[in-house]
Amino acid sequence: MKTLKQIIHQSKKRLLQMHYESGVGHIGGNLSCLDILMVLHHRVMGPEDHFILSKGHAAGALYITLWSMEKLKDEDLKLFHKEPTRLSGHPAPRWKEEITFATGSLGHGFSLASGLALAKRLQGKKGRIFCLTSDGEWQEGSNWEALIFAAHQKLTNLTLIVDENGLQGFGTTREVAGQEKLLDRLKPFGLPISEVDGHDTEALEKALKDPAPGPRVVVAHTVKGKGVSFMENKMEWHYLPLKDEQFKTALEELGEA
C-alpha cells in the first residue's frame, strides 16, 4: 500500500498535469493547500463529516484529492474546465456528496460552514464541519460576522482552517490590507487556536484531530506554489497557466516519491 507521502506526491503531479492540459491557472494556491486537503480527507474526516472549500479557486486541489480517493476518475480530470464537465473552475454543488456548496465568492464559505454546523447540532446529528479559507479572504467582513456567530453559538463541531500563504491576487496580504497579524486578530475570540506548518502532514493531522471542543481554528503556514521552485512565493502563479517547458521543469523538480 502507498504511504500518504507517496499519494500526495502522485497527486501533485496529477494536479499539474490537469491544469496544464486544461490551460487553467490558480496553480499556486492549489499547491499551497493540497497537503491540508489530503490529510483531512485521508487521515481525519469520517463519513459523517463535511468539508467546505471556501477558497473556491483551489477547486483543482479538491478534485485531485477526490481523485486520490477514487471518487473521481482520470476521465473526469481530463475534462477539467472544459465542455461538458462538472469540474468547473470553482466547485459546483450537489453532483458529488463531497461538494456541498458552490464557493469561490470569497468570504462566503465560512458562513455556510457555520450554518451547517448549527444545523447538525439542532438536528442532533453527529459529524464535524471543516472549512478551509484563504488568508486574503479575511479581508472580507462576512468572515468576521461568521466567526462572531460561531463563537456565540459555541459550535463545538466546527473547525476553521486558514491557508496562510501570505499572497493574494494583487500582491502580498501585508501590502493589500495589512494582514500580517491575522493570528493576533483571531485570538480575542477566545477560541482554541493551533499554528502549524501547512506542509507537515504529521503536524497537520495532530492539529486537525485535536479533541478540544470547537469552534477551533487552525492557522496553517503555507507556501504558494509549494514544491515548484519557480512558483514558490510568486504572486503571478495565482493566475498563470503552465507552458510546455514550465510543465516539464515542474515535473522534473518533483521527481520520484
The enclosing domain of 129 has a CATH number of: 3.40.50.970
Work out the angle between the directed axes of helices 27-39 and 201-208 (0-180°, nearest 10): 60
In which element (H, E) is residue 77 found?
A: helix 74-77
- 148's enclosing H/E stretch is helix 141-153
The three cell numbers locating residue 195: 499554528
Average pLDDT of the residues in 238-249: 96
The larger pLDDT score, comparing residue 15 to residue 255, is at: 15
Q: Which residues, listed in sequence order, are joined to residue 177 by a DSSP beta bridge?
A: none
Please give the Cα distance from 108 to 134 (Å, whole number). 12
| Structural domain of 181 | 4-254
Instruction: Please state, rounded to an integer, the average pLDDT across all residues of the chain.
Output: 95
* pLDDT above 70 (res 193): yes
Q: What percent of the chain has pLDDT over 90?
A: 88
Dist CA 140 CA 108 (whole Å):
9
pLDDT at position 61 is: 98
CA angle, residues 113, 93, 51, in degrees to nearest 5: 35
* Cα–Cα distance measured from residue 24 to residue 190, given in angstroms and rounded to the nearest whole number: 40
What amino acid is encoded at 58 in this protein? A
Give 50-64 pLDDT, tens digit per residue: 999 999 999 999 999
- Span 190-194, mean pLDDT? 96
Find the mean pLDDT for residues 211-236: 96
Q: What is the mean pLDDT of residues 21-28?
A: 96
- Per DSSP bridges, beta strands 171-172 and 167-168 are antiparallel
Whole-prediction pTM: 0.96
How many angstroms separate the CA atoms of 107 and 118, rounded? Answer: 18
Query: 191, 249, 177, 240: which is closest to 219 by C-alpha?
Result: 191
* Length of the chain measured in residues: 257
At a CB cut-off of 8 Å and minimum separation 6, what does 39 contact?
A: 4, 201, 204, 205, 208
Total domains in the fold of the chain = 1
* Residues 156-189: tens digit of each pLDDT: 999 999 999 999 988 999 999 887 789 999 999 9
The predicted-structure confidence for 91-105, as pLDDT tens digits, reads as follows 998 889 899 999 987
**Percent of the chain predicted with pLDDT > 70:** 100
**pLDDT at position 153:** 98
Q: Where does the pLDDT of residue 256 fall: very low under 50, low under 70, confident under 90, or very high at 90 and above?
A: confident
